[in-house]
Structure 1
Amino acid sequence: MAIMKEMPGCERPREKAMMFGVGSLSTRELLAVLLRNGTKGESVLEVADRLLMRTDGLKGLERISRRELCEIRGISDVKAIELLACMELNKRTLYEKAAEQDVIAQPEHLVKWLQKEIGPCVQEKFLAVYLDNSHHILSVRTMFVGTINMSHVYPRDILREALQESAVSMIIVHNHPGGSLEPGEADLQVTSLMIRSASLMGIKIDDHLIITQSSWFSFSRAGIMDELRN
């Protein structure tokens, strides 16, 4: 590959972005802008190519740690932190968009944020999304990490947080690291337990979402919430 300074200006990532906007850049070129420079005998675009090969694309980049980034030749601690900071800003943008929405009527931004937040995780995470009477997010709490079953879910802890937030309702969420969207028996039992426990305190469980990195499943949209309430 040609050395960057020998490339025509319109082909260099930074110059190309200045001429045509960042939307004109490929993924490797965007990464090259963030990485800034390559290594001895290797252009920054080649470093970006190796990074994408190591992570198998952007989805893999969301799962990589700072230590793993630093194992890639040409990526220092500083560059690793800058890459991770960019991904974190993207997640926070999605969260802010979700916080402005009625997440029951328009769950898309919440789902996109959840897919970034817990979709890439290799362990199951159980979250509670606390809502006001307009279905706007009050807060999100990670209640536990690990395989979901009845012995791990403590409704009193989840509902204590709901009372502290003055929540009217809530959405419970967990991820399936294996990628399956099929609710298991434990998922159904936990949902039923939460519905019964919350109803005693006048709090509604609006939905239970299963999240993967690329898809999602809604108990409510599938009619399961109504079945469990009856």
Structure 2
Amino acid sequence: MKISEMSVSQRPREKAVLYGIESLSDHELLMLVLRHGNSNISVSRIAQDVLKFSEGLSKLHQMDMNDFMQIGGIKQAKALELMAILELNKRVLRARSLHMSVIDHPETLMEWLRLEIGMKMQECFLVVFLDVQNKITQHKVIFTGTLDRSLIHPREVFNMAVKVSASAFIAVHNHPAGSLIPSQMDLEVTELLMEASQMMQIKMLDHLIVTREGYCSIFTYLYKQTE
């Protein structure tokens, strides 16, 4: 159905004005963002196809420009608009994390990290550097590829830590397959960084595994193994 064929109160824009943006369904929000279709396909149908392709939004953050352009009615300009909205969402969470103690507000940190690397299809090793108040000063992807103790060099982590005057850091990597169970290599890399952390006197607060569904604290995992 075309927007012009809907009653005024049911059109996404008018409904948002009358009842608030939160009153819109996922389908209606996408219609509002997409704005219009073309002569061959309605904006309602395009929004439905986006929901179907992204499995009800659950995989939306994993989609790139080519994915969006596979959907009928979406060309490069519209694909870029959708990607810009997703990127803004990620940056809002990152900006919030910068002004909060990661100890006091771990949920904000985890949500940002989930969007930052948890959705990626390739494994990434990222380090979050913190000041004395446990606020984020910097973050950097140290390595991309299968996590391997021989490829993770502590000097890269600690050179950056010294450069940004970090008092502590959190190591993070993703599991594209979705498992939240640390592998033996994950544990070995954790041990390597913990040893270097003690030598450099820059505290390692944790090593996290993130996926699109959640996260695992390797420090908590190790603690439970000793109980």
On whether the aligned pair clears a TM of 0.5, the verdict is yes
Moved more, 125-134 or 217-226: 217-226
Q: 1:128 to 1:96 in 2, by over 3 A?
A: same
In 2, distance between residues paired with 1:224 and 1:209?
A: 14
Deviations 1:69-114 (A, max 9, x none): 1121111211111111111111111111111221123211010001
Q: Percent identity?
A: 40
The one-letter amino acid of 2:143's match is F
The aligned counterpart of 1:55 is 54
Q: Which residue of 2 aligns with 1:97?
A: 96
Please list the CA deviations of residues 22-48 of structure 1 after superposition, one character each: whole Å capped at 9, or x if unmatched. Answer: 111111111111111112243211110
Deviates more, 1:100-109 or 1:4-13: 100-109
Structure 2 match to 1:87: 86
* Alignment partner, residue 149 of structure 1: 148
TM-score w.r.t. the length of structure 1 is: 0.94
The question of whether the paired residues in 2 share the 8 Å contact of 1:171 and 1:207 is answered with: yes
State TM-score, norm by structure 2: 0.95
Aligned position for 2:25: 26
Query: Residue 10 of structure 1 corresponds to which residue in structure 2?
Result: 9
Shift of 1:224: 3.9
1:114-172 deviation digits (Å, cap 9, x = unpaired): 11111111111100000111110011100011111111101011110000010011000
Q: Name the CA distance, whole Å, in 2 between partners of 1:56 and 1:188.
A: 33
In 2, distance between residues paired with 1:15 and 1:6?
14
> In terms of mean alpha carbon deviation, does 22-31 or 64-73 score higher?
64-73
1:168 corresponding residue in structure 2: 167
2:2, 2:43 within 8 Å by CA — same for their partners in 1?
Answer: no
The DSSP-based 3-state class of the residue aligned with 1:129 is: strand
Q: Is the 8 A contact 1:31 1:48 kept in 2?
A: yes
Alpha-carbon distance in structure 1 between the residues aligned to 2:65 and 2:128: 28
Query: In 1, Cα distance between the equivalents of 2:133 and 2:181?
Result: 30
2:189 aligned with 1:190, yes or no? yes
CA drift at 1:60: 1.4
1:220 matched residue in structure 2: 219
Change (3 A) 1:219 1:225: farther
Cα displacement (A) at 1:220: 2.9
Aligned to 1:35: 34
Q: Secondary structure at the match of 2:53?
A: helix
Note if contact 1:131-1:167 (Cα within 8 Å) is conserved in structure 2.
yes
How many aligned positions are there?
A: 226
Shift of 1:175: 0.6
Unaligned runs of 5+ in 2: none
Query: Secondary structure of 2:71's match?
Result: coil
Deviation at residue 67 of structure 1 after TM alignment: 1.6
Distance in 2 (alpha carbons) for counterparts of 1:126 and 1:182: 16
1:130 and 1:171 in contact (8 A); partners too: yes
In 1, the alpha carbon distance for the partners of 2:205 and 2:224 equals 8
Aligned counterparts of 2:90 and 2:117: Cα–Cα separation in 1? 11
Q: Is the 8 A contact 1:220 1:226 kept in 2?
A: no
Q: Which moved more, 1:113-122 or 1:51-60?
A: 51-60
Amino acid at match of 1:200: M
CA RMSD of aligned residues (A): 1.6
Amino acid paired to 2:16: A
Q: Which moved more, 1:152-161 or 1:58-67?
A: 58-67
Equivalent residues in 2 for 1:105-116, closer than 5 Å = 105-116=104-115
